[in-house]
Amino acid sequence: MTRTATVNYHVHKPYRQAFELDSGGVAGNLISPELATTTVALADTRTKATSVTFASDAVEFTLLKSQVRDFTGDSWKQTYDAELTGMLLDRLSAQEVVIFDHTVRVDDPGATRKPARNVHSDYSKDGAEQRLVDLLGAETAAEWAQGHFAFVNVWRPVEHPINSAPLGFVRPSSVDPSDWILLDLIYPDRKGQIMGLVGNPDHEWVYLSKMTPDEVAFFNIYDSQGLPSVAHSALDMIEDPNVTTIRKSIESRTLVRY
């Protein structure tokens, strides 16, 4: 069944646009460039009529039960990192996985980290190459860059199945190169770059309805040998108006060496 949701696309401008994160030194304070709110049709990969694979669509959904249920503090990280590493080594036939960041997002006005409601991908080419150096150091990064590496994110619901603001993805095959724009990320202590997506009626949106804490999406953010980066965003929609659970998720950023 086709569903609809609202997303916020980026807009072409004659100048470089930027997000300012934790602006003014206030955690969670975000200054955003102009966005265009758009209604899009969704294909649900829960149905047999729609499917996606990492190799062809840069995103895949899979069952991955975790021993971790409480993502507060730090005691869970070793266990969870081991679970994600095992899954990525197996599913991507990777040689090495470095997990370098976890972000818990809560769809609440008072939350420090809320769902990202702009259609984007996390790294530009320059941003990915700089992040490789930041994480590994110049010497090791140069070694990795001689081979095949990628940034891959893993996203999981926390506590409850997702009833509102699920994570949606745009099939890379439906994106025209001119739909992408370069955006700066300005942090209090550093600067990065991401890619924003401009609206196009040809975009094919997919998601997995009512994702549970036993399911994950793993998706490509940057690949040094050309697998497309997948645009994604929280979707403004509600699965069941009678359910009032708050949308919580954890997104884990990983560096993969093939």
Count of positions (residues) in the chain: 258
Residue of 108, 240, 235 whose CA lies nearest to 168: 235
Predicted local distance difference test score (pLDDT) of residue 1: 60
Q: Record the tokens describing residue 150, joined without a space.
A: 């990628």
How many other C-beta atoms lie within 10 A of the C-beta of residue 90?
9
Q: Strand, coil or helix: what is 123?
A: coil
Q: Record the tokens describing residue 17, joined without a space.
A: 């646009």
Q: For the chain, which domains are there?
A: 3-257 (2.60.120)
Residue with tokens 């999981």: 156
For the chain, list residues with pLDDT below 70. Answer: 1, 28
Predicted local distance difference test score (pLDDT) of residue 221: 97
pLDDT in tens, 2-16: 799 999 999 999 999
Predicted local distance difference test score (pLDDT) of residue 185: 85
How many other C-beta atoms lie within 10 A of the C-beta of residue 107?
17
Predicted local distance difference test score (pLDDT) of residue 2: 74
Predicted local distance difference test score (pLDDT) of residue 151: 98
Are residues 207 and 164 in contact, defined by beta-carbon separation less than 8 angstroms?
A: no
Predicted local distance difference test score (pLDDT) of residue 189: 81
